[in-house]
Structure 1
Amino acid sequence: MPITIADVAARAGVSKTTVSRVLNGKDDVDRTTADRVRAVITDLGYVPSARAVGLARGRTRVVGMLVPALTWPWMGEVLQGAVDVVETEGYGLLLFTCNRGDESMRRFASQVSAKSFDGLLVVEPEGALDYITALYERGLPVILIDDRAHQPRFPSVRTTNQAGARAAAVHLLALGRRRPLVITGLRRFGCTQERLAGFAEGYAEAGLPIDPARVVEGDFTFECGRAAVESLLAAGVPFDAVFAHNDLSAAGALQALRDAGCRVPQDVAVVGFDDLPLARQTHPPLSSVRQPLREMGAAAARTLVSHLAGTPLPDTPTIIPTSFTVRASTGTT
């Protein structure tokens, strides 16, 4: 049987509270008693769990991370960035998803109540921002990753969605593409609104406002990209470029163009958003706005761990800019 704190207390003739105070370096235990407790710990080979010591000190050295689901195409990159920092700094990571909706959130709330972690990284589950804000206001350190233009009242890490989309427009205009099809994400998302605004801004500055007939709302899936292209081709709406709000829907657009016998990029140039590993694997490889996903996860984790070590949380968002990667889908290998 493993040696417990009760065994140490019994052998030393003290209470479990006294053993705990010795383990945690409290200076209110007399020296003779403390020495006796330490000797018993050595004799019995008692090893206190890191969790027990952490809880006694009011710290767990665990970081919580709440995300909507691990099935989102870019979630793995964000998670890896966070894990790289958390593990390097000697913390554990407790991951929560919202796959089961309200049930998942109830389980998460129970872990919050149990103080199972010292701080929280969040990729916001839809509709949870008010709850997360309340946790922050009650004293839980929170960092939001990808604020979706919500501008929360607590620290966040985000990227330049609008500027990235504008860069896509400038690139397509330089290629002479004047009639782009835009496949958006869900319109209620702030990132969708920012990407649509940035792309429209680029074309408006060239005197070419985006035709609403060529703007199709999608849901960031492969199927929505394919369906959008098929719909415009069937309706006879001409377009010479596609700007999709993520790489997965851009891949669907590529598939539909290929099925229809359209040449990419000769007939239609295609640009995605995110620059996931998928973008290098499509046919042809996909030009894409690179979202610094791993860097965002790492920056959020670094900010949180630094705060747990005593650094104040920042008053303004951390912004990591997008960049643009050119590949064969717009004419460059």
Structure 2
Amino acid sequence: MPVTMAVVAARAGVSKATVSRVVNGAPGIDELTAARVRAVIQELGYVPSARAVGLARGRTGSVGILVPSLTWPWVGEVLQGVADVVESRGFGLLVFTFNQGPDSMRRFAAQLSGKAFDGLLVIEPSGTLDKIAELHDNGLPVVLIDDRGHEPRFPWVGTSNRMGARAAAEHLLAIGRTRPLIISGEPRFGCVRARLAGFQEPFQAAGVPLDPALTLEGDFTYASGIARAREALARGLAFDAVFAHNDVMAGAAMGVLREAGRRIPDDVAVVGFDDLPWTTQTEPPLTAVHQPVRRMGEVAAGALLDHLDGKRLTGDPIVLPTGFTVRESTVRPR
């Protein structure tokens, strides 16, 4: 059951008009009463309609972005794309993280009820999609920036995970690699399932079945890339390539392979996914599926601001194409 202004008023023992005045920062309210109302708002996680607050306050001139963590591999690139667009159009940007899990979400909801920024961009912290959908349903314009393969009932900007993985497989087949070790993300993410399916298709078409024993599940972290590469070596698995579902795990696997005396790319070719700027600095530089993460931020911010300027914001997905960047981790320069 949604938390309404009437529920907040009943819990706080005041009128709906008083709750509205507290939310909108109106003067002349007894401080003890205002504090009690704010405490109930935080306790219940009440989020007023951004449109209603806007009518009372006028446009804030700011948008928010909610991210899992500022250390998440490609968050910085997305944020730069968002900031470029937001600032160029005269808006401010408020950044919220999910570093402390549910506590962070409760504080975010309380800040939203108090500040009521004009719209929200989201790189979904795990497990918060329903809450974000609730904010959207309550009137807050929301655009999701997503590489996980979700298809929410509100607008989102994503990328072609399946096609990117297919390009990786076609490249490995073209250079004669037929036994790739796959270090995947967690299958609960739609992007992981899409990358697994897309990578398999060219091998099936070429009559080269993938060995199921060579797919090991990671979790997109550097530690899991190390662990899965070491596991493959310890089990004596025979592989001539590695396809990791992000650059971080690919870079970790490269370090393990070098320690084990495997030459890259002579013995093992390595492909990552994301093509973050630092991939040019690995040893050797990393071949990777290029995910246009900065562009995703730019497009999502543009869509949100266009909506705030009066353009209808539809729920249709915006899917940006991936690319493929070949470097020395798969092919030595001539």
- Could you tell me the TM-score, scaled by structure 2's length? 0.81
Q: Deviations over 1:209-263 (max 9, x none)?
A: 2211100000112222222222222211100000000011101111111101111
Give 2:142's aligned residue. Answer: 142
Amino acid at match of 1:150: H
Q: Deviations over 1:25-82 (max 9, x none)?
A: xxxxxxxxxxxxxxxxxxxxxxxxxxxxx88652101101111111111100001000
Give 2:174's aligned residue. Answer: 174
Give 2:8's aligned residue. Answer: none
Q: Is 1:258 the counterpart of 2:255 in the alignment?
A: no
Give 1:302's aligned residue. Answer: 302
Superposed displacement of residue 179, structure 1: 0.3
Q: State the structure with more CA Rg.
A: 1
Q: Is 1:325 the counterpart of 2:325 in the alignment?
A: yes
Q: Any stretches of 5+ residues in structure 2 without a counterpart?
A: 1-53
Give 1:109's aligned residue. Answer: 109
Conservation of the 8 A alpha-carbon contact between 1:124 and 1:147? no
Give 2:131's aligned residue. Answer: 131
Distance in 1, Cα, partners of 2:175 & 2:187? 28
Greater alpha carbon shift after TM alignment, 239-248 vs 308-317: 308-317
Give 1:316's aligned residue. Answer: 316
Superposed displacement of residue 127, structure 1: 1.1
Secondary structure of 1:329's counterpart equals coil
Superposed displacement of residue 102, structure 1: 1.1
Give 1:293's aligned residue. Answer: 293
Superposed displacement of residue 203, structure 1: 1.3
Conservation of the 8 A alpha-carbon contact between 1:326 and 1:332? no
Give 2:33's aligned residue. Answer: none
Give 1:193's aligned residue. Answer: 193
Give 2:219's aligned residue. Answer: 219
Q: Is 1:151 the counterpart of 2:151 in the alignment?
A: yes
Superposed displacement of residue 112, structure 1: 2.2
- Return structure 1 stretches of 4+ with deviation > 3 angstroms: 54-57
Distance in 2, Cα, partners of 1:240 & 1:249? 17
Give 2:39's aligned residue. Answer: none
Secondary structure of 1:330's counterpart equals coil
After superposition, residues 38-57 of structure 1 pair within 5 angstroms as: 57=57
TM-aligned CA distance change 1:310 to 1:75, over 3 Å: same
Distance in 1, Cα, partners of 2:112 & 2:147? 21
Conservation of the 8 A alpha-carbon contact between 1:247 and 1:278? no
Q: Is 1:246 the counterpart of 2:246 in the alignment?
A: yes
Superposed displacement of residue 206, structure 1: 1.3
Amino acid at match of 1:149: G
Conservation of the 8 A alpha-carbon contact between 2:274 and 2:291? yes
Superposed displacement of residue 191, structure 1: 1.4
- Could you tell me the TM-score, scaled by structure 1's length? 0.82
Conservation of the 8 A alpha-carbon contact between 1:77 and 1:294? yes
Give 1:164's aligned residue. Answer: 164
Distance in 1, Cα, partners of 2:134 & 2:173? 45
Greater alpha carbon shift after TM alignment, 170-179 vs 185-194: 185-194
Greater alpha carbon shift after TM alignment, 222-231 vs 241-250: 222-231
Give 1:78's aligned residue. Answer: 78
Distance in 2, Cα, partners of 1:303 & 1:115? 22
Secondary structure of 1:257's counterpart equals helix
Secondary structure of 1:307's counterpart equals helix
Conservation of the 8 A alpha-carbon contact between 1:147 and 1:156? no
Q: Deviations over 1:83-133 (max 9, x none)?
A: 000001100011110101111001111122224300000011111111111
C-alpha RMSD of matched pairs (Å): 1.3
Identity %: 61
Distance in 2, Cα, partners of 1:302 & 1:158? 14
Superposed displacement of residue 319, structure 1: 1.1
Amino acid at match of 1:139: G
Q: Any stretches of 5+ residues in structure 1 without a counterpart?
A: 1-53
After superposition, residues 85-100 of structure 1 pair within 5 angstroms as: 85-100=85-100
Secondary structure of 2:283's counterpart equals coil
